[in-house]
Structure 1
Amino acid sequence: MKIVIIGGGEIGYDLASVLSSEKHDVTVLDRDKTALSRVADSLDVLTVEGNATSVKDLVSATAGEAEILICVTSIDEVNMIAGMIGRRLGAKMVIARIRSDEFSDDNAPLTPSDLGIDVMIHPELSAAHEIAQLLKRSSASDVINLADDRMQLIGIRLEKDSPLIDKSLTEYAANYPELTFRVVAIGRRGRTIIPTGSVKFQNYDQIFVLAETQDINDVIKTTGKKEKELNSVMIAGGSGMGAMIAKILAEDPAKTWSVKLIEPDYDKAEQLAIDMKEIMVLHGNPTDPDLLVTEGINEMDAFIAVTDDEESNIISCLMAKHLEVKKTVALVSKPDFIPLAQTIGLDAVINKKVAASNEIHRYVRRGRVISVTELRGIKAEVIELQATKESKITKKPIKKLNLPEGCVIGGVLRNGDVEIATGETQINAGDRVIIFCLPSAVDRITKLFQ
């Protein structure tokens, strides 16, 4: 598939890396020579130096021939103009990163479609919703809702005192016959394992378990962890994502949260205090240990660090963990930091580039693909696909299917009912199937649904 990416920054680079590894024909346009050099030196993609709002430069980048044009510069207006020009030039689908709420509001005078944009993505807002979801599962490092929220995939780090250590997956399932769940992936010392029944759990494994949403709390207990209710939250970094998280929590219909938001810019802090009267806004340096202690970080249930300085996010979360805060979440952009952060004791890390990649992948893999989610810290993806009458996946029970190596079917949504898949499960036309696989197996498993 021919894909043109406008913007070679963090998100553009990450998308180019993922899409080129999947053998798509990718072109990246940017006017920053340094950003383009980074892309050209490490990825198998074509780079074009030019202005995203120049018709001439967009023609040079073959934007009009693109099956998908992805506009992800750091400026909303540039993305909108590039998308409009790309559409006029002939791009079949236009995806644009637009962070302004003015275009997503129901009463907006201009909608994305008016601008020729098919899909509007907001990575920061997606990441903010992920963090809010993590606060509702205190023991989990990852929480992904699947099958219309009827199933959840949770990530849990096994401590050395976990009752699962040295037990095989087969023994684990046999010890809890009353529960229906499936361990679909394990992250172990930088390796990703799609496990079989004989694999044994080890200290500090990051395990990913799929179960019906109503059973998740019971599944968590089997790992030796206990769910704790979180009520008070301190957020370091008030602009951008921090304000979004605070707003999501303030508007939570299920419970009332006590939220403290720390913002270093006085004018922004003042405006936040005016806009969000339900929360306490503090003016100060969110990475200052003295300020955090003075404002009662040790009395908080959760601490979230979403400043632009990811090293400071990690350090402040470690300090919060040292002060026995129950849940810490750090915003981390560098891929190398993600497995490291969990190894040194952070509860969860969020990467907004992954959030953008997950949103865009659903449109790149069109057809029967309902959703695609990349798991943080390990090289595995969760794909939700729908079977048709012609799909090869419907011809035999799962145990008789020749599934690609590095791939496991986790669950099925059928006529509103959910089922954790076993070898005996027969997939029918119309079923929505949740699959976990290594990137190398994605194309092969997708073909079984065509």
Structure 2
Amino acid sequence: MKIVIIGAGEIGFDLANVLSTEKHDVIVMDHDKECLSRVSSSLDVLPIEGNATSVKDLVKAQVGDCDILISVTSIDEVNMISGMIGKRLGAKMVIARIRSDDFTDKDSPITPTDLGIDVMIHPELSAAQEISQLLKRSSASDVINLADGRMQLIGIRLEKNSPLIGKSLIQYSEDYPDLTFRVVAIVRRGRTIIPDGSIKLQNYDQIFVLATTEDINSIVKTTGKKETELNSIMIAGGSDMGAMLARILCADKTKEWSIKLIEPDYEKAENLAIEMKDVMVLHGNPTDPDLLATEGISDMDAFIAVTDDEESNIISCLMGKHLEVKKTVALVSKPDFIPLAQTIGLDAVVNKKIAASNEIHRYVHQGRVLSVTELRGIKAEVIELEATPNSKVTKKPVKKLSLPSGSLIGGIVSDDKVEIATGNTQINGGDRVIVFCVPSDIDKVTKLFQ
């Protein structure tokens, strides 16, 4: 598939990295020579220097011949104009990063399709929604809803006192015969393992467990952790993501949240205080330890750091953990910080680039691929596929399928039931199947379902 990415910043680079790894024909265009140099020296893509709003430069980037045009510069207007031109030139699908509420609002007089944009993505909003999910699962480092919410994949870090340490996955399953679940991936000292039943769990392993949503609380208890209610939340950083998170929590009618939000810009803080009556908005430096202590960080159930300074996010979250805050979540952008953050004691991290990548992925793998989700800090992805009636996966039970070595079938979803896959599970045509695999194996896996 030919894919043109406009914008070689953080999100564009990450997308180019993922899509080129999956063997797509990727072209990256940007006006910044330094960004393009980073792309060309690190990735197997074609870099093009040019202006995203220039018809001549877009033609040079072969936009008219591409299957997907992805415009992810930092400026909404540039993304919209390049998307409009790309559609006119012949791009089959246009995906644009647009953060303005003027276009995301359901009552807006102009829709993205009016501008020739097929899909609009909002990485900050996606990341804020991800944080809200993490706040509902206090013990999890990751929470991913699958199969329309009927299944969940959760990431849990095993502490030294976990009863699972030293047990094989077979023993783990045998000890809890009333629970149906599957450990689909393990991160151990920075290495990703797609496990078999014989592997034994070790201190500080981060395990990813797939189960039906109603069984998740019981699964958490087996690891030695406890789900606790999180009510009082402190958010460091009120622009973009921090404000979005506060709005999402205020709109949640299932519980009452007590929210403090710290914003360094006085005018923004004032506007947020006027807008959000249920949130205590404070003006100050959200990375100032004295301010955090004065405002009662030690009394908070959760501390969320989403400022633009990721080092400060990590440090302030570590301070929160030192003061026994039950859950800390930091916004980070550098890939190297993702595994490091949890190693040094943070509960969870979020990443806007991964949120954007997950949104775009399902449009890249169209057809029988229903969704693709990249996991943070782990070299594996979650794919939700639909099996065609005569595909190879419907011919044999799961244990006899010739799956690539870096892949594993986790769950099966049909109209009337949800089940965790075992070796004897039979996949039928029309079933939705949840598969875990390394990025390089995605194409091999999807061919088995066609």
TM-score normalized by structure 1? 0.99
Output aligned runs, 1:26-105, within 5 Å.
Answer: 26-105=26-105
Matched, 1:379 2:355: no
In 2, distance between residues paired with 1:257 and 1:393?
46
> Which amino acid letter does the alignment assign opposite residue 239 of structure 1?
S
In 2, distance between residues paired with 1:426 and 1:63?
43
- Measured after TM superposition, the shift of residue 190 of structure 1 is 1.1
Output aligned runs, 1:127-166, within 5 Å.
Answer: 127-166=127-166
Output aligned runs, 1:343-422, within 5 Å.
Answer: 343-422=343-422
Stretches of structure 2 that go unaligned for 5 or more consecutive residues are none
> Which amino acid letter does the alignment assign opposite residue 232 of structure 1?
S
- Measured after TM superposition, the shift of residue 315 of structure 1 is 0.2
In structure 2, what is the equivalent of residue 305 of structure 1? 305
In structure 2, what is the equivalent of residue 323 of structure 1? 323
In 1, distance between residues paired with 2:93 and 2:81?
15
1:291 is paired with a residue whose SS is: helix
1:283-329 residue CA offsets vs partner (Å, 9 max, x unmatched): 00000000000000000000000000000000000000000000000
2:149 is paired with a residue whose SS is: coil
2:148 is paired with a residue whose SS is: coil
- Measured after TM superposition, the shift of residue 104 of structure 1 is 2.1
- Measured after TM superposition, the shift of residue 23 of structure 1 is 1.3
> Which amino acid letter does the alignment assign opposite residue 217 of structure 1?
N
1:316-348 residue CA offsets vs partner (Å, 9 max, x unmatched): 000000000000000010000000000000000
In 1, distance between residues paired with 2:116 and 2:438?
35
1:184 is paired with a residue whose SS is: strand
In 2, distance between residues paired with 1:443 and 1:400?
20
> Which amino acid letter does the alignment assign opposite residue 18 of structure 1?
V
> Which amino acid letter does the alignment assign opposite residue 126 of structure 2?
S
In 2, distance between residues paired with 1:93 and 1:438?
26
- Measured after TM superposition, the shift of residue 157 of structure 1 is 0.2
1:422 is paired with a residue whose SS is: coil
In 2, distance between residues paired with 1:275 and 1:389?
52
In structure 1, what is the equivalent of residue 120 of structure 2? 120
In structure 1, what is the equivalent of residue 337 of structure 2? 337
- Measured after TM superposition, the shift of residue 21 of structure 1 is 1.1
In structure 2, what is the equivalent of residue 167 of structure 1? 167
In structure 2, what is the equivalent of residue 219 of structure 1? 219
In 2, distance between residues paired with 1:439 and 1:199?
22
Bigger mean CA deviation after superposition, 236-245 or 440-449: 440-449
- Measured after TM superposition, the shift of residue 187 of structure 1 is 0.3
> Which amino acid letter does the alignment assign opposite residue 351 of structure 1?
N
CA RMSD of aligned residues (A): 0.7
1:87-109 residue CA offsets vs partner (Å, 9 max, x unmatched): 00010100000011221222211
In 1, distance between residues paired with 2:375 and 2:117?
28
Output aligned runs, 1:178-327, within 5 Å.
Answer: 178-327=178-327
> Which amino acid letter does the alignment assign opposite residue 2 of structure 1?
K
2:44 is paired with a residue whose SS is: coil
- Measured after TM superposition, the shift of residue 49 of structure 1 is 1.1
In 2, distance between residues paired with 1:416 and 1:319?
47
> Which amino acid letter does the alignment assign opposite residue 221 of structure 1?
K
> Which amino acid letter does the alignment assign opposite residue 381 of structure 1?
E
2:15 is paired with a residue whose SS is: helix
Stretches of structure 1 that go unaligned for 5 or more consecutive residues are none
In structure 2, what is the equivalent of residue 16 of structure 1? 16
1:383 is paired with a residue whose SS is: strand
TM-score normalized by structure 2? 0.99
The answer (yes or no) to whether the contact 2:71–2:95 under 8 Å persists in 1 is: yes
> Which amino acid letter does the alignment assign opposite residue 250 of structure 1?
C
